[in-house]
Structure 1
Amino acid sequence: MRGVFSLSRPRAGGPVVLWGGAQPSGSLKYLTFARYLAAMPPGSRGLVELSGASSALALDLLGRERGLPTVALTDAAGATYLRANGFQGQVRQVDSMADMFHQAQSLEREGWSWPRQLTNRAMVACVEAWASGLRAQVRERFPTVRHVVCGFGTGATLVGLTRVFMAGGFTVTGLQPAPGTSVPGWRTWGAQNLGAEDLFFEHQPRMVLATAAPAPDAFTSLLDWARRQPNPERVLVIAHNAREPDSARA
């Protein structure tokens, strides 16, 4: 997947940014789910997922590309976010995680495809598939970069990036929301996990998680964290749905 990534250094001496918003759905999740859906058996009635952020937006576009409807199961904040960001499928606002799982299971029994992103370990390999091309591009264009930071959601992106980049001598950090705050698509592992079923569970002891400082959005949190590091110019920020401003283009 060389050539699909938008990379730049917005500020001299600052971190490099991977602008995930350059992807067709406006998120790197598009690459992950495109890989996953490529192996989906034919005959699905549609796509359903527990998501109020980038995953739902990516599945919505991928579903439309395949002529399939998409249902997003989410809370009130997620419903607001999806409607504000162009989601064209059906949004079902659900009050509890248990009810979300119940509704997804019901649709799955009716023939809908449910990627089960929170528990599906196959998602890690889907991330690795595009991460290897990203690492090659970073090495070529920004050879001094040695550290990668991304938001922590399901954990699939963090684990996939860690596997690929650590093999090349990089370190990788997953960023969680600041205490008492929420970030669309992010979670706090200690308070929001599914135990042993969680795809991140077996990897957690080997992963590096950090906590963001309060910020208005995920991208600002990532940039602030990177700029506070001893050598910010050696950091690559994985901005899942940020778009590169004209001023950042080389």
Structure 2
Amino acid sequence: MSHTEDSPGFKREFERWRSAITSLVPTSTGRSSPLRCDEQNKWEDGKIMQPKEGEAVPEKTEADLKREAKECKRCEKWRDDLTKESPIVRFLLQHIALLPPPPEAIPASESSTPNLPLPITCKPCPPTLAGGYSSTLGILLCQNRFMSKGHMEDALSHELIHAWDGRRFEVKGEWGKDLRAHACTEIRAENLSGDCAWAREFTRRNWAWTKQQQVCVRRRAILSVAANPNCKSREEAERVVNEVWESCSADTRPFDEIY
């Protein structure tokens, strides 16, 4: 077979892949990004981080502050380890790096994770939250909610799938107001991240002898959509999840299959 020069399209695609992959390679010093647990950002101002109306917020003691500092350092250590060592986290980061960021996104270079395609921030959160994704702020990891590095890996993978969906798919209006889009990305995140693995469900005391994965994904997707302020009731959440279930549960992009 005669040699032919690579096409311009192939070269462009190759350069995108090379840039995405090399952006995740640790620097020659081998040091992780500096710990910035005291860094203030807009996550603290968000509604999900605020106490419920009428709920008293106790003043933090010195012991509370020391515990939070310890939790944050552990969270950032695990985060840095996972972005270097976890196959699923690195795979998702590489694919996110191939897509253009949202116009309103804060540049990753301005965060404590400048070597990644989006900011990943550790912060203390309310008991009902383990993580979050914002097209503007990147990913939130709730430093006080993780039982292990494996637990964080599942949560980080979940939010990275939301981030990939946010860059890859066009939504009419805002994600939060489009319940079908919310349901679809939640189904995909629960299905692909490991959140519904048998061992994880066992720790929640939820398991089934048949179709355990599907039962878990559907249950958690309905709970997420029902918690959306734009959703009127649990019945509406169930209806929306059912409407998109067939297409979204079968969509494994950017993976080839569910692992």
What is the TM-score with the length of structure 1 in the denominator? 0.25
Q: Which structure has the higher relative contact order (CA within 8 Å, separation 6+)? A: 1
More strand by share: 1
Q: Which has the larger radius of gyration?
A: 2
What is the TM-score with the length of structure 2 in the denominator? 0.24
